[in-house]
């Protein structure tokens, strides 16, 4: 293949910005890059002076015509756009609309529209089986709200873009509602993936749409080649939740209080390595279409296995914070109670204000369930090796947190 034009819906987000910078630094054949996002960042201006033609397009993935216009003429689309909301800021309907598709062509084990509350997709991963989506009846066209990931797929098909890389998530697999641990598992590890929260539900559905689109004929007759990357919890420069923990620690006099047992391992991966995996997949999909098409890959690197809080302290301790307690300060039942109380307050206050604290039943369950991956599938399939060592990732993240500190003073 000669020169490459790439499209990146979601290119202004935390991960998207790293993907954009990585493409520009590490993809010599790139001649044009279209960054498509609801909110364009001011940092885009500095990219426009380089040899690659960079076009920033403000647009909405739920608007089919906007997506199609942005995708037309590209070789590869890296779809990192999404509504990452586990705090109840957006409605389940909005999360579904942005992350998956419009009402109601997908149903999950029940009637459409109830998915966000009662019926979640439930499937078993790692059994070599992928269940078909259950397709419901289509509504009259005037009732169709616009879909997100489905629009990206249709745009590729209609405009003839042959390669689609989708940013999925570990959340597609788990932790599940039963709190089963996933201990150093890989892409083939059996695990009962049962979701009840709109975010993992939407990611699971969107991933299936993307994988099932593999092999569809795009304009011109060639087959669409798709694959999905599943990062665990991403950290690094630009990580909003890390910033929140840092500020919370400052407010508490330089202390954070342990809430989760140190024995609960949580998978984390450095944003630079996640971006690098996306670039490699985009590069290799053409040559290795038969092997990689329709596949999922966990995103991994050499980041150590630790609890969520202990891992964060790798960056926050050098910035002057300390984690109080070798064991959780509050009993678990009290955390469960507080999480439920937060959920109730969110619901009660909704007509007046948006109350969306970090602690809710879902975030507590995720933080309190071991979920770590150990795999080399990406290395075997397309030669992935982490670009950043753990030491490098750590240093870069610490420097960024220190920058957050000085910029907020």
Ligand X SMILES: NC(=O)C1=CN([C@@H]2O[C@H](COP(=O)(O)OP(=O)(O)OC[C@H]3O[C@@H](n4cnc5c(N)ncnc54)[C@H](O)[C@@H]3O)[C@@H](O)[C@H]2O)C=CC1
Ligand Y SMILES: CC(C)CCC[C@@H](C)[C@H]1CC[C@H]2[C@@H]3[C@H](O)CC4=CC(=O)CC[C@]4(C)[C@H]3CC[C@]12C
The answer to the question of residue 102 lying near ligand X (CB under 6 A) is: no
Write down the least CB distance from residue 367 to ligand X, Å: 13
Q: Which stretch binds ligand Y (CB under 6 A): 39-47, 132-140, 143-151, 356-364?
A: 356-364
Q: Which stretch binds ligand X (CB under 6 A): 78-86, 130-138, 275-283, 378-386?
A: 78-86
Write down the least CB distance from residue 221 to ligand X, Å: 29
The answer to the question of residue 15 lying near ligand X (CB under 6 A) is: yes
Instruction: Give the span between the Cα atoms of 101 and 136, in whole angstroms.
Output: 13
Burial of 114-137, coded b for 16+ CB within 10 Å and e otherwise, reads ebbeebbbbbebbeeeeeebeeee
The answer to the question of residue 259 lying near ligand Y (CB under 6 A) is: yes
The answer to the question of residue 169 lying near ligand Y (CB under 6 A) is: yes
Binding at 31: pick from ligand Y, ligand X, none (beta carbon under 5-8 Å per type): none
Q: Which of 191, 199, 297, 308 is catalytic?
A: 199
For 240, the enclosing helix (H) or strand (E) is: helix 240-251
The answer to the question of residue 295 lying near ligand X (CB under 6 A) is: no
User: In 253-387, which ranges are continuous DSSP H helix?
Assistant: 271-284, 289-292, 308-316, 332-349, 361-367, 377-382
CB neighbourhood size of 50 (10 A):
11
Q: Within positions 297 to 326, which residues make up the interface with ligand Y, using CB under 6 A?
A: 308
Active site residue 355: no
The secondary structure of 137-181, three-state, reads CCCCHHHCCCCCHHHHHHHHHHHCCCEEEEECCHHHCCCCCCCCC
Q: How far is CA 185 from CA 125, 188, 376, in A?
A: 11, 8, 11
Write down the least CB distance from residue 173 to ligand Y, Å: 11
Q: Is the dihedral of CA 141, 143, 146, 149 positive or negative?
A: negative
The answer to the question of residue 358 lying near ligand Y (CB under 6 A) is: yes
Question: Which residues here bind ligand X, judged by CB under 6 A?
Answer: 9-10, 12-16, 37-39, 60-62, 80-84, 98, 167, 169, 203, 231, 233-234
Question: Which residues here bind ligand Y, judged by CB under 6 A?
Answer: 84, 86, 169-171, 233, 241, 259-260, 308, 358-359, 363-364, 366-367
């Amino acid at each position: 293949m000669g020169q490459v034009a790439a499209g990146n819906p979601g290119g202004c987000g935390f991960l998207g910005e790293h993907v954009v910078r990585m493409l520009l630094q590490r993809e010599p054949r790139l001649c044009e890059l279209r960054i498509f996002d609801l909110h364009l960042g001011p940092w885009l201006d500095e990219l426009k002076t380089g040899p690659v033609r960079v076009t920033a397009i403000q647009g909405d993935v739920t608007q089919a015509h906007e997506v199609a216009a942005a995708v037309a003429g590209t070789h590869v689309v890296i779809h990192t756009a999404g509504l990452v909301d586990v705090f109840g800021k957006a409605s389940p309907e909005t999360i579904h609309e942005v992350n998956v598709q419009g009402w109601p062509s997908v149903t999950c084990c029940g009637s459409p529209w109830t998915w966000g509350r009662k019926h979640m997709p439930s499937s078993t991963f790692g059994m070599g089986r992928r269940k078909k989506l259950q397709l419901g009846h289509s509504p009259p066209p005037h009732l169709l709200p616009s879909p997100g990931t489905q629009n990206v797929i249709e745009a590729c098909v209609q405009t003839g873009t042959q390669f689609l890389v989708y940013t999925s998530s570990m959340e597609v697999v788990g932790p599940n509602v039963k709190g089963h641990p996933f201990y150093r598992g890989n892409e083939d590890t059996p695990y009962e993936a049962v979701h009840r929260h709109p975010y993992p539900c939407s990611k699971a559905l969107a991933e299936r749409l993307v994988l099932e689109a593999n092999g569809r004929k795009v304009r011109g007759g060639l087959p669409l080649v798709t694959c999905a990357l599943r990062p665990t919890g991403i950290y690094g420069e630009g990580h909003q939740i890390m910033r929140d923990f840092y500020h919370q620690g400052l407010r508490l006099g330089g202390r954070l209080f342990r809430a989760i047992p140190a024995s609960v391992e949580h998978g984390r991966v450095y944003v630079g390595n996640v971006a690098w995996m996306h670039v490699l997949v985009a590069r290799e999909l053409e040559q290795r279409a038969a092997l990689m098409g329709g596949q999922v890959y966990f995103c991994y690197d050499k980041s150590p296995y630790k609890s969520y809080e202990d891992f964060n302290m790798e960056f926050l301790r050098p910035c002057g914070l300390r984690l109080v307690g070798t064991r959780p300060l509050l009993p678990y039942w009290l955390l469960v109670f507080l999480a439920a109380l937060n959920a109730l307050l969110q619901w009660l206050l909704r007509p007046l204000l948006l109350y969306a604290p970090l602690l809710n039943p879902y975030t507590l369950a995720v933080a309190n369930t071991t979920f770590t991956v150990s795999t080399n599938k990406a290395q075997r399939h397309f030669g992935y090796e982490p670009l950043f060592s753990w030491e490098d990732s750590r240093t870069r993240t610490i420097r960024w947190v220190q920058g957050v500190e000085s910029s907020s003073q």
